[in-house]
Structure formats: structure tokens, C-alpha cells
Amino acid sequence: MSTGKEGSRIDWVKAGCHLLTGIEAEFARTKPFRDMTIGTGIHLEPKTAILLRTLHAGGARIVATGNLNSTQPDTVDYLHQHGIEVIAEQTMDQSVHDLSLNRVIAEKPDLILDNGGDLFAIYAEAPYPELLGGTEETTSGRMRLAPMREQLQRPILVINDSPIKQFAENRHAVGQSMFESYMRLTNRSTNGKRVTVFGYGACGRGVAANFRNASANVSVVDADPVTTLEAHFDGFLTPPRDHAIRTADVIVTETGAVNVITADDLGAMKDGAVLMNGGHFPTEIAVSDLLHSPQVVARDRFEEQDIETLHLKGGRTVHILAGGHMANLAGPRPLGNSIESMDLGFALQARCLEHIASGKASKDDCVVPVPPAIDAEIAEAYLDRHR
Ligand SMILES: NC(=O)c1ccc[n+]([C@@H]2O[C@H](COP(=O)([O-])OP(=O)(O)OC[C@H]3O[C@@H](n4cnc5c(N)ncnc54)[C@H](O)[C@@H]3O)[C@@H](O)[C@H]2O)c1
């Protein structure tokens, strides 16, 4: 029997991205981005590599950078081999990352594909007339860009606010991948453990559900009382914040807010508590303050697992996963969200950028959801393939 060729992880991902590969073949014929430059600031990992190749097939020159801490060197090599310019370093240093972002904007891209609002925020400081508009991938980016509409004045479609992205990625896939990442980084069980999830939005719901399905006792803390009531009706414990911290074996943040867990909480934490973040920015857990708290007497670093253990006065320990960065794109062999969920989200990306390149969106469509017709088209294409 023939064993065929040896495929890489990116080949495996591509084989599962049925929507994107279909769009890539179409774009190779229709060239919707002919003579355009697309500047991108999104995780450089295998699934985005397939998205960037799809846009490249559509005639665009791509100038790509990543997000903080998630750049995968194999993906960067792969993109270089396929004619995509990459300006990115694997770094946790915001100032190093900022240099890459500035270099992408210096190319004056015609379209921007952003994740977290990093590129649009730089554009807003020094707008240039050639920008047609672009897309924003995530919740935190929408929160950052919405107050900047006056400066942006361009069509910007928020992929995050598509119902498809909400349920397929944020709820189902982030829930699965955060659970997978807890297991992958710690190799510890969830059975009978007490898990507290901060934030019961789209992502937090999936995280809470996945830990509950893995036989953990899950509590939810949300800043909004109505959302907290919904968590209660969904059968989760909703204790006051202090109690939820005091009793937790695992604390997960999924809020999009800053300083959700701070050094002030150390005194209440249970011995052996594990802290992990799934929110976009590494500021939900105030890691630097925790590391430098006077309560910390020693630290151990488990480099391979990307875990830092804090030894506290009195003998308790607290473990921080991935330095508070998004755990599902950190640590050993980071996989991120499922291929199917990202194929859906990135098909939305490709169609939204095509929509803007074709001049069908106006500057009034600034930081607005994906047009419903695009949602319907992507949903039908996925169902045709999978049901
Ligand atoms: N890790 C990933 O792969 C991934 C994927 C998608 C989105 N994200 C990120 O995850 C984060 C959450 O996204 P979402 O779509 O669930 O957002 P969301 O807006 O749907 O939900 C956030 C929830 O957090 C609550 N909240 C805000 N501040 C809080 C606080 N201090 N304490 C407790 N609750 C608080 C809000 O009331 C809300 O219910 C964002 O940063 C987003 O960008 C990560």
C-alpha cells in the first residue's frame, strides 16, 4: 500500500478548511484584491496561514504581523515560502510587538485585517487616504475600536459579532480549547475540582460548560447581575466573588476586562490554585503585580509547561499558566481553536474583505457586524459540506 507524501501540521489544517480552500480556488479566478495590499495583525498559527494564503490567491500582497506571544515560527517559515511578507517576532514584549505593527501600517495597506484593534489604533493616529477599510476579529478589538469611530471613518466589519463566530468559535471552540489547554499545560484532572470562571459571555459560557462536562464543580462570576442570573439558571454556582476565589482550584478569566484578578486576591486563594486566562489581552490577571507581591517568597518556573509557581508566605502555592496570556495559544504544542470553527470565522473574514474591496460597504459601516447575507452564505456552505 502506498504511504503517500508526508504532510505537515499546516497541511493537516488545510485539509480540514473546506470553506477556505473553496474560496481560495474561487479567488484565484476572480482576483478580488488585485493590486491591493492587505495588512494583517492576527495570530500567526496554521489556521491563519490558510486564511492569508486565501487572500494572497485573490491577488493581494500580504504584509502580516501577529499578536503578542502567539507567533509560531513554523508558520512564519511556511508563509515566507508561499510569498507572504511577515514582520513578526515571537515575543511577550509589547514594545517589540509595537515595532512590527508600525512597520505593517508604514506599508499603507489598502485593507486591514485586525485582531484586538492594534493596527487600526495606529492607523487612527495618522490616517492615510488609501485605506478602504477592513475587519476586526475579536471582542476586545470591537470594544477598543467602537469609541474611535470618529477617527476611523472607514468600513470596518466586526467578525466577532457574527452569530456564527459567537456560537461556533467563542462559545463552542474556546470552551473546548481552554479545557484542552488546562489539560495540556497542567496534565491535572478536573474531576471533583472547583473551577471558577470569570465572565459568562460567549467564551465564558463555553469554558464553564466544558469544565462542567469534565466533572468539575463550576462557579461563575460575572460583573453583570442579569448575566449572573442566567448562569444560575444554567445550573452553575454563582457565589459572591470572594467566595468564588477562596474555594477555587482553578480560576479562568474570560472577560475582556483588565485586572480581574489582582495581587489583592492572593491572600484568599486556595493552596495549589491554578490561574489561567482566555481573554485576548494578557491583562485580565495582573501577573506582574502577583509576581512582585510582598506575599511571594519564592518562584519556580516550569519552562516546558509555561507554568510559574508562586510560593506564598505561610506555605501556600499558586500556579500561573502561560504568564496570563491566552492559554489556548500558549505552552507546549499550542493548537488554538478547532479547525472547523476557524474555517467558519476565516471564511467570514475572506468574504467581508472581498465585500469591502468591491466597494459595497460605506464609511457608515464603521465597527458594525458582518452583513447577514454573508452569514447566510457561509452557514449554507458549511451545512452543505457537513450534514
Ligand atoms: N482565547 C480565544 O481563542 C478567544 C477567542 C475569542 C474571543 N476571545 C477573547 O475572550 C474575551 C471574552 O470574549 P467574549 O466574546 O466572551 O466577551 P463578552 O463580551 O461576550 O463577555 C464578557 C463577559 O465578561 C463580563 N465581565 C466584564 N468584566 C468583568 C469582570 N471584571 N469580572 C467578571 N465578569 C466581567 C461581562 O459582563 C460579560 O458578560 C475577549 O477578550 C475576547 O477578545 C478569546
Residues with CB under 6 A from ligand 1: 138-140, 169-170, 174, 198-204, 221-224, 227, 254-257, 260, 278-280, 326, 328, 337
Three cell numbers, residue 60 = 493581494
Average pLDDT value for residue range 40-65 = 97
User: Could you tell me the end-to-end alpha-carbon distance of the chain, in angstroms, rounded to an integer?
Assistant: 31
CATH number assigned to the domain covering 9-161+338-386: 3.40.50.1480
CA dihedral 159, 66, 356, 110 (to 10 degrees): 160
Average pLDDT value for residue range 61-86 = 94
CA of 218 to the centre of ligand 1 (A): 17
**pLDDT single digits (tens) 256-282:** 999 999 999 999 999 999 999 999 999
3-state SS assignment for residue 55: helix
3-state SS assignment for residue 386: helix
Asked if residue 238 lies in contact with residue 220, where contact means CB atoms within 8 angstroms, the answer is yes
Average pLDDT value for residue range 66-95 = 92
Average pLDDT, the chain: 96
pLDDT > 80? residue 5 = no
pLDDT > 70? residue 341 = yes
Q: Alpha-carbon Rg of the chain, whole angstroms?
A: 21
What band does 1 get if pLDDT is binned at 50, 70 and 90?
low
pLDDT > 70? residue 247 = yes
Residue with cell 508563509: 79
What percent of the chain is predicted at pLDDT more than 90? 96
Q: Which helix (H) or strand (E) holds 384?
A: helix 372-386
- The residue whose CB lies within 8 Å of the most ligand 1 atoms, and thus the one to mutate among 139, 140, 284, is 139
Three cell numbers, residue 149 = 469611530
Residue with cell 517559515: 77
Q: What is the pLDDT of residue 203?
A: 97
Fold of 167-329: Rossmann fold (3.40.50)
- The residue whose CB lies within 8 Å of the most ligand 1 atoms, and thus the one to mutate among 197, 280, 285, 328, is 280
Within 10 Å of residue 37's Cβ, how many Cβ atoms? 18
Q: What is the pLDDT of residue 4?
A: 78
**pLDDT single digits (tens) 300-315:** 999 999 999 999 999 9
**Residue ranges, CATH 3.40.50.720, the chain:** 167-329
- The residue whose CB lies within 8 Å of the most ligand 1 atoms, and thus the one to mutate among 67, 138, 167, 349, is 138
Average pLDDT value for residue range 97-114 = 97
pTM of the full predicted structure? 0.93
**Residue ranges, CATH 3.40.50.1480, the chain:** 9-161+338-386
Least confident range from 90-99, 163-172, 226-235: namely 90-99
